[in-house]
Amino acid sequence: MLVSPHRTLYLIAYDVADPKRLARVHRYLLGWKVGGQKSFYECWLTRAELATVTHELGELIDPASDRVHIFQLDERMQPKCYGIARPAPAQSFILV
């Protein structure tokens, strides 16, 4: 996959208790994701974008009852898919 060397692959997982907050977090992350499903999204982010996403997610959730986890992934590892899952197509993309 061709990606800018300044971007790093992250997996963002969330568990939000309130349906309204859940919808807001889901809509927000749709703008950043390049793959994933349900409440797990893969995102290629620069350091500045990661700081923005981290800050804005913190504003969208209730820290007392919601959880957001951001994991840095190693893009050199090949994905392992089980069942009917298929890896995302390896295509270049542009964030606008």
Q: How far apart are CA 67 and CA 15, in angstroms?
A: 5
Question: At which residue do the structure tokens 């997996």 appear?
Answer: 11
pLDDT digits (tens, 9 = 90+) for 44-70: 899 999 999 999 999 999 999 999 999
Q: What is the CB neighbour count within 10 angstroms for residue 31?
A: 9
Angle at the Cα of 90 from the Cα atoms of 85 and 93, rounded to 5 degrees: 120
- Specify the CATH number for the domain of residue 25: 3.30.70.240
Which range marks the domain in which residue 87 is found? 1-96
Q: What pLDDT is recorded for position 88?
A: 66
Percent of the chain at pLDDT exceeding 90:
55
How many structural domains is the chain composed of?
1
Model confidence, pTM? 0.79
Number of H helices, E strands in the chain: 2, 4
Residue 86's pLDDT band (cuts 50, 70, 90): confident
